[in-house]
Amino acid sequence: MVVGQTRRRGDVLVGAIYAAVLDELAESGYAGLSIERVAERAQTGKASIYRRWPSRLELALDTIDHTLPQLDELPDTGSTRDDVLIVMERIASVMRSPSGDAVRACFSPGADRELADAVRERLLAPRKAAMLEILRRGVARGEVRADAISARIAELGPTLLHGELLHRGQLTDDAVVEIVDEVVLPLLRRR
């Protein structure tokens, strides 16, 4: 117990556990995620964790599900560049956070395939759909060529943000703007 005689229950406790899992995932990866350390970090007992989740996998999955920022409503500024930039900056800020590390941990060798698949579907897919919708609006406006509507193009931006983080170890706002202006947008325009 940490402070005086306080004893947390329900959502407050669950929230603290999520936070601990997130930090552990970011720090040690999925292979190194131990219930024991999660409990210690969240200042609770292992029993309170085992009571709620049957396995490490469920715990990790639930944590990511409940921790990632909700998808805000799509920007619709009337400018494809602005829309893309806004979405890319949102994605970048998640990638820079512990949540980003946690997600990356799910895709590394040593992690569970099931976990990776679940994260792909529940998490990456909706974000990809958002990007496609922005592209569609751009096509309607005549700013974007019609055959830019493809999975590969929708993934391009996020993929490059990820690559930037891997190659340089950091992801600055300037880099986000450069990626959008020098790579993503040129590929959207008519040739």
Cβ-count burial of 81 within 10 angstroms (0-12 exposed, 13-18 middle, 19+ buried)? middle
Report the partner that residue 5 touches, choosing among DNA, a second copy, none (CB closer than 5 to 8 A by kind).
DNA
Report the partner that residue 155 touches, choosing among DNA, a second copy, none (CB closer than 5 to 8 A by kind).
a second copy
- Among the listed residues 65, 56, 47, 71, the one whose alpha carbon sits nearest the alpha carbon of residue 24: 56
Using rule CB under 7 A, residue 31 touches DNA: no
Question: Binders of DNA: how many residues, by CB under 7 A?
Answer: 24
- How far apart CA 44 and CA 121 sit, in angstroms, is 31
Work out which of 15, 26, 41, 48 binds DNA, going by CB under 7 A.
48
Q: Is the dihedral of CA 6, 10, 12, 17 positive or negative?
A: positive
Using rule CB under 7 A, residue 6 touches DNA: yes
- How far apart CA 176 and CA 92 sit, in angstroms, is 8
Minimum distance, C-beta of residue 4 to DNA, in the bound complex (Å) = 8
Site of interaction with a second copy (CB under 8 A): 25-32, 101-102, 104-105, 107-111, 116-117, 120, 124, 152, 155-156, 159-160, 162-163, 166-167, 169, 178-179, 182-183, 186-187, 191
